[in-house]
Amino acid sequence: MPDPAYEAKYGRGPHVSVDVFVEWCGQVLLIRRQDGTWALAGGFVDPGEQLLNAAIRELTEETAINVAPVDLRAAYRGPAVVFSDPA
């Protein structure tokens, strides 16, 4: 069942999002959300945007880390699931 507050904010889906898993020297990069929870950097894919480009853009927007295009290592397509709204 869609969350009415989520739909009011983002509109009716489906929505495509990306999360970026960054591992360096055995550590994983996480960001702290406004509500104090931890998450991977990520966000919505813009219309017409490729997944890899969206991942790079979101990483830069949320961490100021600039990376060169890399190989997409994995993609997950799952059932319609609403994750917590980070805003």
pLDDT for 19-59, tens place per residue? 988 888 999 999 999 999 999 999 999 999 988 889 999 99
Taking residues 59-68, report their average pLDDT.
91
pTM over 0.85: no
Shortest CA distance to 15 belongs to which of 55, 45, 52? Answer: 45
**Kindly report the CA angle at 61 between 77 and 56, in degrees rounded to 5?**
45
Instruction: Determine whether 20 is exposed, middle or buried from the number of CB atoms within 10 Å of its CB (0-12, 13-18, 19+).
Output: buried
